[in-house]
Amino acid sequence: MLTPIKILLADADTADATEVRWALDKLKVNYSLTHVTSGGEVIRCLQKDDAEGKLPYVLLMDINLPDKNGVEVLTEIRQNAAWKKIKCFFLSRGGKRPDAKQLRHLNIAGYISKPFQLSNSLSMDSLNLVIDLVNFKTL
């Protein structure tokens, strides 16, 4: 049996988190998901996972977390050499995205539009990219 892909989901909205799980289940992705609701929790979770040698492969992070925005959290993540390999996708409910030039140095993998539903073509395109990355890792 293949090892599940470890995903860290950072989103304060539990309904959105449920939609992410539902979509991954529907697409039969073999995953292990940890859900946190703030930027501070992202950092604490990564510190714990790093100490255990079990960092996530993918981080799905809402751009607007309650305590910090996603850019601030990702900037902190990218300062840690061990965490630089984590593939990060921002979740966004539309609105203004950060400037692409600002994000280039943060190595953002992409954006996923919310609501995260199989009928939302923008979300599905991004989810398919996540799945492609997961499949590439398991080859």
Question: How do residues 90-134 score in pLDDT, each as one tens digit?
Answer: 888 766 666 667 777 888 887 777 766 556 565 556 666 666 655
**Residue 30 DSSP code:** -
CATH of the domain at 99: 3.40.50.2300
pLDDT above 50 (res 139):
no
Q: Which pLDDT value is given to residue 104?
A: 76
Please tell me the predicted confidence (pLDDT) of residue 25: 86
pLDDT of residue 20: 86
Q: What sections of the chain are H helices per DSSP? A: 14-26, 39-51, 70-78, 100-104, 121-138
Reported pTM: 0.85
> How many structural domains are present in the chain?
1
Residue 87: give the domain boundaries: 5-138
**Residue 91: phi, psi to the nearest 5?**
-100, 135
Q: Cα–Cα distance between 93 and 63 in angstroms, integer?
A: 9
Q: What is the spatial distance between Cα 110 and Cα 137, in angstroms, rounded to a whole number? A: 17
